[in-house]
Amino acid sequence: MSYSLKLTMAWTLVLILVASFTFAEVPKMINYQGRLTDSAGTAMDTTVSMEFAIYDDSTSEVSQWSETQVSVAVTDGFFNVLIGSIEPLDASLFEDSLCYLGISVGNDPEIEPRTRLISVPYSFRVSTVDGATGGTIIGDLNITDRAAVGDTVNDTAQLYVKCDSINRVGIYANSSQNTPAIMAMHDGTGHGISVIKSGAEGKALSLTRLDGGRAIVVHDAPGSNETFVVEASGATGIGLHTPLEMLDVNGTIHSRSGGFKFPDGSIQISAASDCNWLVMDSVLYTNNNWAIARGGADNAALGDSIHTIVNLGVACTTFTYATGDYANHATISGGYGNYALGGGAIGGGHNNRVIGGPGCTIAGGTENTADQQCSTVGGGRKNLAYGDRSTICGGLQDTCYGYGGVITGGYNNYIHTNTDYAAILGGTGHRIEASGSCILGGQNDTISAGSLCMIFGREVFIDTGVDNRVAFFNGRTDGYFGVNRDSHDGGINHPIHIGTDGSNGNGAHLTAGGVWTNGSSREFKDNFVSIDGNMLLSRISNMPIMSWKYKNTNERHVGPVAEDFVQAFDVGAICENDGKRDDKYLAAGDVAGVALAGVQALLEKINQLERRNAELERRLTELENR
């Protein structure tokens, strides 16, 4: 069937997509009325399906939007529909200047011609909001020209805002996103934001941070690190992320004029002329070769002014003199009444004296003296390091005159002059006059002139002219010396006592009477093997027994040599290097054991001979009695 459509009422557009000043969203539909007749022009009474489509021109075959309303009531030819009630209309449909509405009834082709949408339908995008009294804008708002709030547009600004004495211009961003409340972008050579204040009262720019965070943050580019930060506390950082002081600068501060004013009111305008100090790379420097001393403490820095000295004690004196490469730069780090001559150093303490010049050091203590180059006193009291490179670690009234000598501590110990590299490791009342010698400790030990001696004990004495001696205790002392044993192992019970088992000496010892005694208990032994007496006697009879003396000595002895004895009887220790018996040494026990076994074999032969002799005498008697 062919239909005829006649528009009988003006279009009424009820969708407003631009600024609206109502408080509810406007329905996105168009109210459309028309009259439908058949091909003969007779008004119809029926229900039909209608398709509505919007095109961007009058002939296009592709629609921008369409919907089908399947049950449109027609009475006496008239119908009324809401276009967009099935498929909502969008404001973008009316962005172009030309839009056409096409209508199809039932299965018939689209009624021609299409209807151009004009006038009222274009309130989708209104050209002005003059006379609006308020409302809410939903969606994006683009202003391509100037705008004014509280006044008419102004040639001085793209956005002009005027407020009276009560109202303020407020921008509020309530978002968890890391985005700014205000962003100003400028592509030219001018300022991104410029604040101009007229009038004497008020502030040109006032920033308030309510939650204690940062008040101002400046980036050198979007998303880059901060170059200027002002915390709510007022702490300001330049060239860094988090200021640690009220002003924290990562870079050089350049004062072009005026200098810097300090809390005491002084103004520094030149580091070279008005300030004696200079800070470079976190180091504090004096601007010339000046001494440094603690003020108000009765300290004195004396001597050649071109050499730097440091005096931080109380009533202390540092003194330099310009003779020699190292005869300057004295230092006193603290303490009271200390005195340091050129090149020396005192760490602290009381009334200490460094007078030996370069390299001398006293770490602390009281009334100590370091008198020669590179001499050192660690602490203690009244210790005297008089020898070059001598050291006294501590103690009381210890004295070292020897070159390179060492006294580790103790009381009233003494290393004489012309005694090089001697050492006293502790104790009291010791004396050394022998170079390279050492007293391990104890009391009142003495090493007279000689060299390379070592002693320990009480009143142990090595006489003049005796070298290369080691003495533990003296003849008036019952001193016991243990090796590989101590009080946990049964004690040291003999003058020399060695080991505890077969791995370290088996308890062998020197008795108080001077007899060397080896461990020989059955508890110490295993793997017993019987000895053939005849074979033993044969080997003894073939063993060379001679008188001899040790080389380079006057000692003479009688006995076998170890090579013959070990080969004959397979005794002695196994050498670790080759797994063979050690044939360079003999144990006295082995020699005695072979001798005892030989005696037993001889006794057996004697017994046999006596029995044989008795039998012969009995036979002889019988013959005589016949």
Q: For residue range 398-446, what is the model confidence (pLDDT) as tens digits? A: 999 999 999 999 999 999 999 999 999 999 999 999 999 999 999 999 9
For residues 548 and 524, state if they share a domain.
no
How far apart, in Å, are the Cα atoms of 267 and each of 207, 261, 271, 344? 31, 4, 11, 38
Maximum average pLDDT range among 221-225, 292-296, 361-365: 361-365
Residue 223 pLDDT = 63
Spatial distance between the Cα atoms of 273 and 283, rounded to a whole number of angstroms: 19
Note whether 404 and 388 are within 8 A (CB). yes
Give residue 116's identity as a one-letter amino acid code. R
The reply to whether 515 and 585 lie within a common domain is no
Asked if pLDDT for residue 586 goes beyond 90, the answer is yes
Give the three-state DSSP class for 566: helix
Is residue 515 located within the same domain as residue 601?
A: no
What count of other Cβ atoms lies within 10 Å of the Cβ of residue 457?
21
Apex 471 CA angle, 468 and 474, nearest 5? 140
Backbone phi, then psi, for 96, in 5-degree steps? -80, 160
DSSP 91: G
Token output for 564: 């013959």
- Bridge partners of residue 72, in order along the sequence: 48
Is 599 inside any structural domain? yes
- Going by pLDDT thresholds of 50, 70 and 90, the confidence category of residue 33 is confident
* Domain annotation covers residue 236: yes
Cα dihedral 614, 618, 620, 624 sign: positive
pLDDT level of residue 81 (50, 70, 90 thresholds): very high
Instruction: Establish if 513 belongs to a structural domain.
Output: yes
pLDDT at 9 over 50: no
DSSP 295-309: TTS--EEEE-TTS--
Report the C-alpha gap between 174 and 169 in whole angstroms: 17
Q: What is the CATH number of the domain that holds 85?
A: 2.60.40
One domain for residues 606 and 583: yes
Helix (H) or strand (E) holding 35: strand 30-38
The pair phi, psi for residue 422, each rounded to 5°, is: -95, 160
Give a yes or no: residue 459 inside a domain: no
More confident residue, 609 or 168: 609
Judgement on whether residues 65 and 108 belong to the same structural domain of the protein: yes
* pLDDT on residue 25: 54
Q: Answer whether residue 180 is part of any domain.
A: no
Q: In one letter, which amino acid is 562?
A: A
Domain limits for position 152: 146-172
Which of 50-54, 227-231, 279-283, 358-362 shows the highest mean pLDDT? 50-54
Q: How confident is the model at residue 569 (pLDDT cuts 50, 70, 90)?
A: very high
pTM of structure? 0.53
Residue 280: pLDDT band by 50, 70, 90 thresholds?
confident
Domains identified in the chain, total number: 5
- Contacts of 601-606 with CB under 8 Å at 24 or more apart are 601/533, 601/534, 601/536, 601/537, 602/537, 604/533, 605/537
Is residue 438 one of the residues assigned to a domain? no
Listed residues 471, 506, 528: the one ending a domain: 528
E strands in 466-583: 470-472, 481-483, 496-498, 508-510, 516-517, 546-549, 556-559
Does some domain include residue 472?
no
Give Cβ neighbours of residue 582 (< 8 Å, ≥ 6 apart): 566, 572, 573, 574, 575
Assess whether 546 and 614 both reside in one domain.
yes
Question: 47 and 99, same structural domain?
Answer: yes
Please check the confidence at residue 348 and state whether its pLDDT lies above 50.
Answer: yes
